[in-house]
Chains A and B, each alone.
Chain A
Amino acid sequence: MNLTHQEVLDLAAGFVLGALDPEEEQAVRDHLASCDLPHGEIAELGGVVPYLADSVEEVEPPASLKARIMSAAAADLAARRTAEPERRTGGPDQQVVPFPSAEEREIREREARSRRTSVIGWGLRIAAVLVIAALGAWNLRLQQDLNATRQDLTQALQPTNAVAVLRPEGAGPSGVALVQADGSVRIAMRNLSPTSGSEVYEAWVIAPGGTPVPIGGFTVGSDGTGNLLARQAGATAGVTLALTKEPAPNATAPTLPIVSSGVASPP
C-alpha cells in the first residue's frame, strides 16, 4: 500500500494512537521513512498520547512480578553469555582456563575485559573435566558426600545431559551444575558467603520463559563451599539454573539478587 503525503496526514491521529490496522500502520511507516516533506503532525499529535497514560488510576502490581521479570532477565543474560563465545568460534579460544583453581585476580581481570566476553564456552567444552573437578579435590564437602554414599557417586557418573557454569554478576560465588539423564541436578559452589540462622541457599530451575521453580536448598559454613543434589529437579538442557540466598528454607519465589546463574547446555 503506497500512501500519498495527504493520506498520511489523514491517518496521523490513528497512527499515533495505534488505531490503524497493521497494513495501514506499516504503510505510514514506509511513507515516513521515505518522504522528504516534513511530518510535524506526527510529533504534535503523538506528543500528547503519552499523557493519556497519566490519567490511569494507579494500581500496584503483585510483588511476585518483580521476581519473575528479574529471573527471566537473568536467564536471558546467561543465555546471551553462552551464545556469544560460540558465535565467535573460528579460531582457538585464547582464554586462560581459570577453573577450578583460579585466583581472585584472574576473575577480576576477566570481568574487566567485558561482561559480554564470557568464558562459558570453554567451560562447556571441558565439561568432563569439570565433572572430575567437581567430584574431586576442588570441593571437599562434595567429595566427602560422595565418599559417604556410593549411590550418589553412581548417579554422578551416569550420563550428563547438560552442564551449566554458574557465575555471579560481578566477583562472587561460582560453580558448576550438572543436569543428569534422569533430570536430577547436582550443584557444587565455592566462594559463597556463609549462611547464618535460618538462611539457606536455594537453587532454582527456570525453563525458558517460565517462572523459577525451587529444587532444594543448602547451608554454607566458613569454607564458602556448598553443594546440592536435587533428585526431583526435572531439569533438561536449556534451563537456567540460579542460586539465591533466602532468609528461610522452602522459599516459593526467589529473593533477589541472584547470586550466581547459568544456562544448562549439552556438554
Chain B
Amino acid sequence: MSDPGGRTERGAGTAADDADRDVLERVASGELDALEELYDRYRTMAYSIALRITTDAALAEDVVQDAFLGAWRNANRYLEGRGSVKTWLLSIVHHRAVDAVRRRRPTSELPDGEVTPPLALTMPDIWPEVAGRLDRESVRSALGGLSEAQREALELAYFGGLTQQEIAARTGAPLGTVKSRMRLGLLAMRRALVGDGGQLATESADRDRGGWADS
C-alpha cells in the first residue's frame, strides 16, 4: 500500500474504490441518483467528522451540505486526479468544517471572501496511499500510540482547526516544537498503520539542519 514516490496507479485500490469512481463519474454527468448513492455511502463519516470539528449539529449539517454540493459541482475535477473518492470527499468535508470553525473564531486569520478550495481539489497525488481500509480500532490504536504532546498537536490541527502558530500559543510550546510534534506524530502513525518505517526523503536534510526538536 505504501508508495513514497506518490506514483500509485490511478486504478489501484479496492473494489469499493472502483465502485466509488463509477458513482462519481455519474455524479460528474449530473445524475442526481448517483449523488444520492454517494451521500448514502458517506453521510455518516462526513457528518461525524463535521460534527467533531464544529461541535455544533446545525453547523455540521451546513458543512456536509456544502461539501456534497461541492462534490456535485466539482466531480469532474476529481476524475482528473487520483486517490480514493472517499478520501477526496472527506477532505472536502474536513476543509469546509475547519473553515467554518475558523470563521466562527474571531482571532483566526482567514482569506476574505471565497473559501480556499480543498487541497485534494488542487493537489492531485497528495493522497496516493489511502487505498486500503483500516478498521477504526487499528486507527485509534495508532493514535493512542503517540506521545500525548504529538496526539494533542495532531488533534488540535486536524479536529480543532488551529494553525501551527495557534497551537504553539495554546500549548505554550515553541513553534518549531509544534512543527516537530506534528511531523513526528504523522510519521509514527504511518509506521503503526502501514509498517514501512515511515522513511522520508527529507530526513537527511533535516538532520543536516540540526534536526527537529523531539517532543
A47 pairs with B154, CB closer than 8 A: no
Which residues of B in the span 66-109 have a Cβ within 8 Å of any Cβ on A? 68-69, 72-73, 86-87, 90-91, 94-95, 98, 109
Interface string of B41-77 (1 = CB under 8 A from A): 0011111110110000100110011001100110000
B32 pairs with A258, CB closer than 8 A: yes
A45 pairs with B36, CB closer than 8 A: no
Stretch at the interface among A73-81, A120-128, A220-228: A73-81
A6 pairs with B209, CB closer than 8 A: yes
Which residues of A in the span 9-49 have a Cβ within 8 Å of any Cβ on B? 9-14, 16-22, 25-26, 29, 32, 38, 40-49
Interface string of A225-266 (1 = CB under 8 A from B): 000000000000000000000000000000011100000000
Question: Closest approach, in angstroms, between the C-beta of A81 and any C-beta of chain B?
Answer: 9
* Residues on the A chain within 8 Å of B39, using CB: 66, 69-70
Partner of A55, one of B139, B165, B167: B139
**Interface SS, B side:** helix
Partner of B154, one of A20, A52, A256: A52
Task: Verify if A96 is at the interface (C-beta below 8 Å from B).
Answer: no
C-alpha gap A163/B157 in the complex (Å): 49
B193 pairs with A116, CB closer than 8 A: no
Given contacts A16-B186, A29-B122, A74-B32, contact A51 B130 (CB under 8 A): yes
Number of interface residues of B (CB under 8 A): 82
Which residue on chain A has the smallest CB distance to residue B1?
A47
Given contacts A44-B190, A68-B65, A116-B30, contact A17 B90 (CB under 8 A): no
Question: Closest approach, in angstroms, between the C-beta of A171 and any C-beta of chain B?
Answer: 14
B200 pairs with A48, CB closer than 8 A: no
A47 pairs with B128, CB closer than 8 A: yes
A53 pairs with B5, CB closer than 8 A: no
Given contacts A40-B5, A45-B186, A73-B32, contact A17 B157 (CB under 8 A): yes
* Residues on the B chain within 8 Å of A25, using CB: 116
A256 pairs with B72, CB closer than 8 A: no
B49 pairs with A47, CB closer than 8 A: no
* Residues on the A chain within 8 Å of B201, using CB: 38, 40-41, 44
Given contacts A9-B205, A18-B98, A61-B64, contact A66 B36 (CB under 8 A): yes
Which residues of B in the span 171-215 have a Cβ within 8 Å of any Cβ on A? 179, 182-183, 186-187, 189-190, 193, 198, 200-202, 205-206, 209
- Chain A interface (Cβ within 8 Å of chain B)? 6, 9-14, 16-22, 25-26, 29, 32, 38, 40-62, 65-66, 68-70, 72-74, 76-77, 80, 115-116, 169, 256-258
Sample (24) of A-B pairs whose CB atoms are under 8 Å apart: A9-B202, A10-B179, A13-B186, A14-B157, A14-B182, A16-B119, A17-B186, A18-B119, A19-B157, A38-B5, A40-B5, A40-B6, A43-B5, A47-B126, A48-B189, A50-B86, A50-B127, A51-B189, A52-B159, A56-B48, A59-B48, A68-B65, A73-B32, A80-B30
